[in-house]
Structure 1
Amino acid sequence: MRTGPTTDRLREALDLPVRHAVPGLRAALADRGLAVLAAPPGTGKTTLVPLALAGLTGPAGLAGEDTGAPGRVVVLEPRRLAARAAARRMAWLLGEGVGGRVGVTVRGEHRPGTAVEVVTTGVLLRRLQDDPELAGVGTVILDECHERHLDADTALAFLLDARAALRPDLRIVAASATADTAPWAALLGGGDGPAPVVETEAALHDVAVVWAPPDRPLPPPHGMRVDPALLAHVAATVRRALAERDGDVLCFLPGVGEIARVAGALAGVDAEVLQVHGQAGPAAQDAVLAPGRRRRVVLATSVAESSLTVPGVRIVVDSGLAREPRTDHARGLGSLTTVRVSRAAAGQRAGRAGREAPGTVYRCWTAAEHERLAPRPRPEIELADLTAFALQAAAWGDPDARDLALLDAPPPAALRAARATLRAIGATGPDGRVTERGRALARVGLHPRLARALLDGARRVGARTAAEIVALLSEPPPPGAGDDLTAIWRTLRRGRPADAHAARWRDETRRLTTALTATATAPPARGTGDDAAAGTVVALAFPERVARRRAEGRYLMASGTGGELAEGSALAGARAEWLAVAVADRPAGAASARIRQAVVIDEDTAREAASPLLEEAREVVWRDGDVVARQVERLGAVELAARPLRAPDPGAVAEALAEGLRQEGLGLLNWGPAAVALRERMAFCHRALGEPWPAVDDGALLAHAVDWVAGARRRAELARIDVAAALRGLLPWECASRLDEMAPERIRVPSGSQVRVDYSGEQPVLAVKLQELFGWDAAPRLAGGRVPVVVHLLSPAGRPAAVTADLASFWREGYRSVRAELRGRYPRHPWPEDPTQAAATRRTNRRA
């Protein structure tokens, strides 16, 4: 490979610390074809290593080498911004522009290089699906693999699979900014033992830590909300840092909205305030990545943790916050949430202050809080919507992702939800294998839902219109855009050419329109208004989010999730009956989702766009205290129409009545004294004897509710059920024949009375007047002699005088005191000296 002359810029770059690792990396790749490179930020791993492996470091080379391995070097970056920056930096080092020997391919930009190409992970995934052998590629470097982006994890798994089956000569480097290399080495090495690890010592200068918490404790972040007081404190800390230290300031914030607020709070500061994030335009990115002529404050998201080098930075101000994805798989709602940064990420951020000289990091939290932070960020595969991953895996031929070399397996519930979505949009068949439609969706380079909306929407509303709406859905809206998606669309169509968001939208629209030229997209059959067109495309992407109004500002989505418009919503004034919801999230603990973006639609549009959710069903349910039988038309969970069902299925009615018993209790039945007593006797036998005597607690009886209510048609008829007969029906024959023996309803006492036994407590109770038991030295034992009857001895007035389970003992020891107490009060009743020899009686001692 002809390298050309070495520029002064490249000679300077050859002094970066990673130069010491290049010979070891070359040797490892020559030996195993696989290696893990551990190189902290600022050491040159992103820019110098690809040039060295491609043989572009000039005649001086590195360690005497000036030729690269066959094939291009492809560098994977997790973000478009980082990919563009890396390509520009390498081309600049070579003294040329991007598109020569160093190229870049990201969504919306394709300038391939002859020797090195920097691509996003999404681009490489699409290439692998089309060409698993990666013809012409000799080495793939996965940069920033420690960030654990899902696309990067997937790309590495596919690369390892392709290398094992098709390309044993393909060289793979996993480049990490952290020293936690053992898992990567094991993953790359597979069954042949860990891959070689090549490490570079950090070139970082000392970074002093200043703990700068707010003056008072502030509420933690909740969902997307960050306390304005914390943002004000971050801005004040930036001002403090500018006053106390020299150099540029890099301030880390969780998102675009927070960057805008802090930028506003820094108005008038004696420095140039710049913003860097994934939505920033190329000009803004260039301004941040080039040395400044005056002092600068750069407000950045976590994109600047390790992927970008911002020159001139000596100070880092860290808010301590980051954004992570969260997915409610049951409701199909996804969102970002604000979380505390991990210790590893905080270390990456702090290191930015020491790349060029000693620096300082101002952390907006305490040292004690720092120790409680999570050690590292959670991998995206544990948190994100897995629909795109599941489509990639299915197209690769491994729908279950069982054979993919992943550091962390996908959560089963999330993968099941993703595969269900793919089946619903026709991307996979019943066996989980990808369909031709699924391959077409994967080639679009969008989330499968949006790809479906693009392809199917083009046939309904036209290719250009579908492309415009999907391009709008594929990125967050500009700050302050409101929740009316149609209004945002109209604004973009007449937007200023210099507007960064509008420029990105136009570029993406062009890309998607071009992608549609390969498909047969007939023009729309009829004219379509803006709301109907946008609503159709949104509903195609998110059919379960079609929503019907149920109260002021409140809606019910087809998924069954409630949704609420924000206060001051642009859509609230329309009092729309139907919405197609594009963006919604559900805060933790909230009963309803928040509708962030939506389109006003009518019922016809809802029916057409979300037609797979349309169903007619016979509904027989327990509602509002009785059986309701209806023929119902629904759009998912949204009821469209209903009419009474004249002859409902008796089995369904019985199920509904049984559900009524479960909801409202067995008190709906007519529990007469006989039924209550029988249930108590049966419960006693179950406790004392066990099986086969049946349990008769509420849960056990409700299990038989469907049988009991058979023949009834409404609540009122439940009172006619013979509960005692139903209870006896639960008894096996051998139990029914012995019930009176094991748990007699009454016991004959010495006086001749038949006294009812009370089985309502834990032990059976016989309450009887004392005089009726004279001569009885022991009460009977029930349940086959297992359980003694507890005797409540009553006074002649029927009041309790004594309680005993041992009559013989009572006559010997307790009777004397009872006799002394009561015989003066009841002189006409017998109180013999020896009750065991006296005749039992129900009568008094009347004189003739």
Structure 2
Amino acid sequence: MTDPLHRLLAQPPDLPVRHGLAALGDAVRDRGVAVLQAPPGTGKTTLVPPALAARVEGRVVVTQPRRIAARAAARRIASLLGEPVGGTVGYAVRGERRTSAATRIEVVTTGVLLRRLQRDPELPGVGAVVLDEVHERHLDADLTLALLVDVRANLREDLPLVAMSATVEAERTAAVVGGTTPAPVIAVDGALHPVDVVWSPPPPRVARADERGVTPAFLDHVAATVARALGERDGDVLVFLPGAGEVAGVARRLAGVDADVRPLSGRLSAAEQDLALTSGPRRRVVVSTAVAESSLTVPGVRVVVDAGFSREPRTDHRRGLAGLVTVGVSRAAAEQRAGRAGREAPGAVYRCWTPADHARLREHPQPEIATADLTAFALELACWGTGDLALLDAPPAAALDAAHGTLVALGAVGADGRVTARGRAMAEVGTDPRLARALLDGAAVVGAERAADVVALLSEDVRAPGGDLVAALRELRRGGPAAAGWRRQAQRLRAAVPAGSSGRDRLPDDRVVAVVAALAHPDRIARLRPGGSAYLLASGTGAVLPPGSGLTGLPWLAVADADRGPGRSDAVVRSAAPIDEDLARQAAPTLVREEETVAWADGRVVARRTTSLGAIELAGERLTDPSPALVVAAVRDGLAREGLGVLPWSPAAKGLRARLAFLRAALGDPWPDVSDDALLADLDVWLGPDLARIRDARGLARLDVLSALRRLLPWPEAARLDELAPERVALPNGSRVAVRYDDPGRPVIAVRLQEAFGWHSTPRLAGGRVPLVVELLSPARRPAAVTADLASFWRTGYPQVRAELRGRYPKHAWPEDPTTAEPARGTGRPPRRG
């Protein structure tokens, strides 16, 4: 009997990729690696695996980014062979596997292959690996590609590796796959039919999205656009929406149309997904998430309605918040979606935005490694044992540091970055490490079954009504739309709990949900702020509940999911459960700490002994005998925040500081820098001995700043302070006038002009380096002239000043030669004799 694979390849379906199979085979034979670049719809997923399986010994493992795509690809290849799934072609996804000893091609999700690589990097029995849809740049796909390159370099040089991409960035992938020399790139052109673009923006007053996501009014518009497309075009309609919630919402709105409405998302059961991917007797409207963007073929589609959104991971590392956010689609993704309408015949795409909006779209979506939470990624690296991997993009250093810190706190890795036995157990669960911790530790408290139920609820991203996780769990148990996926996930998680580690505590549902959610995210335990409706998370982030939530006003919450929308200072709680302080302490013992705190507040030192759960203060009392070191640190902090102006600067202290600043500017070292920055940096040197005595504003007011500044005087140069920067200088009439050092480069005195008579030259300070600036005043003490060179002023400036002022002040002396005149304090005229 002829091998079914050779039979298929002898008469392959008329798909564009068949023209590249020979070149691909040659590249694999000669180099062992290749990159196939081909647009969606060219048949690469259908024909490349059989072509490889016919050439190699062992099983060909093909990765897909999603479970639904893995099952669909296996069914498609098996149908071409005329066999059921599980024979020559099988699949393995999380919680489900259909293979046999006869299986030559196994389609798996990337996560499944990642787990196999971690268990046994040599991949025994595997003859080749095909990584499909690498252009989607999912985090686990980037990591799996890097691990396979490492395996080929160090363990299995004989393992053929083919990466398949639908974009023109194949050269970057080839550089990574090929190791020292880029892998051969085989490009296959698509055969898409023309696709008309119809712009269908919402009415002017309808917002497409707000801080809560896609608006209900915009979903109404999308449904109306679908109804319009059904009336204007032939064929099935494929609708793109960002998430399962929006898919369900639009599907409900289309209940009355003359077509079969089929939702399609990763949350649905396999039967429901198969129904959406199968043509029927009537027209279909397939309402889908991004799963149908590139990795699935939906037959019969002639029209695409694109809402213009996608859901991408985002992480706020400072607040410890991570999750999926709704963002505008990229232009590249929009083109891929539109191409779905032209695979089998000419078609049309209805875009629910304007051409101007389209011009502002990002060119490409960001790779997940640049935006996602990297905790699971970092744990996989630790399990692999080396971080020196060929990644398409390096992970951001700050995100990787935050992930390492989380893993250390979970006990998954040591301070040196090496994985622990606990970390390996978490990785084997196959979910986020925080949820794995909640499953393993929660099972010991509430039992494996109930812990798995709650962790499945958290991992499936089920939206809780009003943010109430307990209500969401009860709804799933009653059989809501997401119940099938939740049950499958809960069953898989139950099996991941080691035997004998399950507790039997019969807590009520609300406490079970709370303790498991708190174990997953102890930093998100929250307490109601006094006198308000906002909460403070243990991480220090503020949070509020959505309007109308039944949890409003509860004193404590275990928050499972929260995000911070644009322009918001507080996060919005998306899901949480009631908890109390005792349970919070039990779930997050490492966050509970007792400490002495000494802080500067409102101009005084506040010393307290507190018990806190993270940023949440549980109890506190006044501390009467704080540590002097803590007092000094608090005052330093207060001065740094509020400035040196809070110190009691006497006129003498201000004067000394100004004189020192002048000498620093004029002479430099060893005269000290007394700028704000320098004084704050040297606080311990000049003010340190006095700081520990400060307890409050009165203690601060008693500080002798003048004496403290004198500690900065350099010796023996300090003995010349009054000579180099005198406080006062003598005038010709014998009086002494204060020198102003407001400008360190320009010392100034102000004297009435008659007092300067007989003064031949300007005094010089700083050992003769800096002339004293003299402000000469009228008898009314108004500025008449300013000079740093008296000799020149008497010759050239005085005659004009004399001419202007003698008529105005006739009772005062205005000699023609002021250098020989007697200085005076009064009018300057000799008294009349009787």
Q: If the length of structure 1 is used for normalisation, what is the TM-score?
A: 0.93
> Residue 622 of structure 1 contacts residue 657 of structure 1 at CA under 8 Å; is this kept in 2?
yes
Q: 2:465 and 2:71 mapped to 1: Cα distance?
A: 28
Q: 1:185 and 1:713 mapped to 2: Cα distance?
A: 67
Post-superposition CA distance 1:243-295 (Å, at most 9, x none): 22211111222222332333344342222222212212222211221112111
Taking the TM superposition and a 5 Å limit, the aligned residue runs for 1:128-139 are 128-139=117-128
Q: Equivalent residue of 2:496, what SS?
A: helix
Q: Equivalent residue of 1:492, what SS?
A: helix
Q: Equivalent residue of 2:529, what SS?
A: strand
> Residue 828 of structure 1 contacts residue 846 of structure 1 at CA under 8 Å; is this kept in 2?
no
**Which letter does structure 2 place at the counterpart of 1:174?**
A
**Which letter does structure 2 place at the counterpart of 1:270?**
D
Taking the TM superposition and a 5 Å limit, the aligned residue runs for 1:678-827 are 678-706=656-684, 707=688, 708-761=690-743, 763-827=746-810
Q: Equivalent residue of 2:213, what SS?
A: coil
Judged with a 3 Å threshold, the aligned counterparts in structure 2 of structure 1 residues 775 and 6 are, in CA distance, closer, same or farther, namely closer
Provide the residue aligned with 2:618 in structure 1. 640
Taking the TM superposition and a 5 Å limit, the aligned residue runs for 1:76-115 are 76-113=63-100, 114-115=103-104
Provide the residue aligned with 1:24 in structure 2. 23
Q: 2:822 and 2:679 mapped to 1: Cα distance?
A: 46
Provide the residue aligned with 2:156 in structure 1. 167
How much has 1:178 moved relative to structure 2?
Answer: 2.0
Q: Equivalent residue of 1:792, what SS?
A: strand
How much has 1:355 moved relative to structure 2?
Answer: 0.6
> Residue 326 of structure 1 contacts residue 383 of structure 1 at CA under 8 Å; is this kept in 2?
yes
Judged with a 3 Å threshold, the aligned counterparts in structure 2 of structure 1 residues 361 and 441 are, in CA distance, closer, same or farther, namely same
Q: 2:722 and 2:335 mapped to 1: Cα distance?
A: 79
Q: 2:481 and 2:80 mapped to 1: Cα distance?
A: 28
Whether 1:287 aligns to 2:287 is no
Q: 2:635 and 2:448 mapped to 1: Cα distance?
A: 53
Post-superposition CA distance 1:649-682 (Å, at most 9, x none): 1121122123233333333322222112112212
How much has 1:565 moved relative to structure 2?
Answer: 0.9
Provide the residue aligned with 2:537 in structure 1. 557
Whether 1:515 aligns to 2:500 is no
Taking the TM superposition and a 5 Å limit, the aligned residue runs for 1:553-592 are 553-572=533-552, 575-592=553-570
> Residue 207 of structure 2 contacts residue 217 of structure 2 at CA under 8 Å; is this kept in 1?
no
Q: Equivalent residue of 1:210, what SS?
A: strand
Q: 1:23 and 1:800 mapped to 2: Cα distance?
A: 97
Query: Percent of aligned pairs with the same residue?
Result: 60
Query: Alignment RMSD, CA only?
Result: 2.2
Q: 1:492 and 1:220 mapped to 2: Cα distance?
A: 29
> Residue 193 of structure 2 contacts residue 347 of structure 2 at CA under 8 Å; is this kept in 1?
yes
Bigger Cα displacement from structure 2, 13-22 vs 367-376 = 367-376
Provide the residue aligned with 2:415 in structure 1. 430
Whether 1:362 aligns to 2:350 is yes
> Residue 293 of structure 2 contacts residue 337 of structure 2 at CA under 8 Å; is this kept in 1?
yes
**Which letter does structure 1 place at the counterpart of 2:608?**
R
Judged with a 3 Å threshold, the aligned counterparts in structure 2 of structure 1 residues 782 and 601 are, in CA distance, closer, same or farther, namely same
Provide the residue aligned with 1:75 in structure 2. 62
Q: 2:485 and 2:98 mapped to 1: Cα distance?
A: 17
Taking the TM superposition and a 5 Å limit, the aligned residue runs for 1:475-494 are 475-477=460-462, 481-493=465-477
> Residue 209 of structure 2 contacts residue 218 of structure 2 at CA under 8 Å; is this kept in 1?
no
How much has 1:530 moved relative to structure 2?
Answer: 2.0
How much has 1:118 moved relative to structure 2?
Answer: 0.9
Q: 1:607 and 1:448 mapped to 2: Cα distance?
A: 21
Taking the TM superposition and a 5 Å limit, the aligned residue runs for 1:312-323 are 312-323=300-311
> Residue 223 of structure 1 contacts residue 336 of structure 1 at CA under 8 Å; is this kept in 2?
no
**Which letter does structure 2 place at the counterpart of 1:486?**
V
Post-superposition CA distance 1:338-395 (Å, at most 9, x none): 2222222122111111110111222233444434432221111001011111111110
> Residue 521 of structure 2 contacts residue 559 of structure 2 at CA under 8 Å; is this kept in 1?
yes
Provide the residue aligned with 1:595 in structure 2. 573
Bigger Cα displacement from structure 2, 201-210 vs 112-121 = 201-210
Provide the residue aligned with 2:455 in structure 1. 470
How much has 1:438 moved relative to structure 2?
Answer: 0.9
> Residue 778 of structure 1 contacts residue 808 of structure 1 at CA under 8 Å; is this kept in 2?
yes
Judged with a 3 Å threshold, the aligned counterparts in structure 2 of structure 1 residues 776 and 504 are, in CA distance, closer, same or farther, namely same
Provide the residue aligned with 2:484 in structure 1. 503
Q: 1:30 and 1:141 mapped to 2: Cα distance?
A: 15
Judged with a 3 Å threshold, the aligned counterparts in structure 2 of structure 1 residues 200 and 663 are, in CA distance, closer, same or farther, namely closer
Q: 1:509 and 1:71 mapped to 2: Cα distance?
A: 33
Q: 2:10 and 2:240 mapped to 1: Cα distance?
A: 32
How much has 1:741 moved relative to structure 2?
Answer: 2.4
Provide the residue aligned with 1:65 in structure 2. none
How much has 1:5 moved relative to structure 2?
Answer: 9.0
How much has 1:4 moved relative to structure 2?
Answer: 4.1
Whether 1:250 aligns to 2:230 is no
Q: If the length of structure 2 is used for normalisation, what is the TM-score?
A: 0.95
Judged with a 3 Å threshold, the aligned counterparts in structure 2 of structure 1 residues 831 and 179 are, in CA distance, closer, same or farther, namely closer
Post-superposition CA distance 1:579-602 (Å, at most 9, x none): 111111112332111111111111
Provide the residue aligned with 1:447 in structure 2. 432
> Residue 607 of structure 1 contacts residue 635 of structure 1 at CA under 8 Å; is this kept in 2?
yes
Q: Match for 2:390 among 387, 405, 408?
A: 405
Provide the residue aligned with 2:633 in structure 1. 655
Judged with a 3 Å threshold, the aligned counterparts in structure 2 of structure 1 residues 2 and 602 are, in CA distance, closer, same or farther, namely farther
Post-superposition CA distance 1:391-427 (Å, at most 9, x none): 11110011xx2x1111101111111111111111111
Q: 2:374 and 2:311 mapped to 1: Cα distance?
A: 18
Post-superposition CA distance 1:131-151 (Å, at most 9, x none): 111111101111101111111
Provide the residue aligned with 1:51 in structure 2. 50
Bigger Cα displacement from structure 2, 499-508 vs 215-224 = 215-224
> Residue 268 of structure 2 contacts residue 485 of structure 2 at CA under 8 Å; is this kept in 1?
no
Judged with a 3 Å threshold, the aligned counterparts in structure 2 of structure 1 residues 481 and 246 are, in CA distance, closer, same or farther, namely same
Whether 1:116 aligns to 2:101 is no
How much has 1:123 moved relative to structure 2?
Answer: 0.7
> Residue 657 of structure 1 contacts residue 714 of structure 1 at CA under 8 Å; is this kept in 2?
no
Q: Equivalent residue of 1:692, what SS?
A: coil
Provide the residue aligned with 2:443 in structure 1. 458
Bigger Cα displacement from structure 2, 410-419 vs 783-792 = 783-792
Judged with a 3 Å threshold, the aligned counterparts in structure 2 of structure 1 residues 223 and 619 are, in CA distance, closer, same or farther, namely same
**Which letter does structure 2 place at the counterpart of 1:782?**
L
Taking the TM superposition and a 5 Å limit, the aligned residue runs for 1:192-207 are 193-207=181-195
> Residue 50 of structure 1 contacts residue 116 of structure 1 at CA under 8 Å; is this kept in 2?
yes
Provide the residue aligned with 1:379 in structure 2. 367
Whether 1:40 aligns to 2:39 is yes
Q: Equivalent residue of 2:791, what SS?
A: helix
Provide the residue aligned with 2:814 in structure 1. 831
Q: 1:248 and 1:6 mapped to 2: Cα distance?
A: 34
Q: 1:110 and 1:84 mapped to 2: Cα distance?
A: 10
How much has 1:818 moved relative to structure 2?
Answer: 3.0
> Residue 603 of structure 2 contacts residue 646 of structure 2 at CA under 8 Å; is this kept in 1?
no
Q: 2:648 and 2:208 mapped to 1: Cα distance?
A: 55
> Residue 654 of structure 1 contacts residue 713 of structure 1 at CA under 8 Å; is this kept in 2?
no
Q: 1:169 and 1:820 mapped to 2: Cα distance?
A: 105
Judged with a 3 Å threshold, the aligned counterparts in structure 2 of structure 1 residues 150 and 780 are, in CA distance, closer, same or farther, namely same
Q: 2:182 and 2:792 mapped to 1: Cα distance?
A: 83
Q: 1:212 and 1:515 mapped to 2: Cα distance?
A: 48
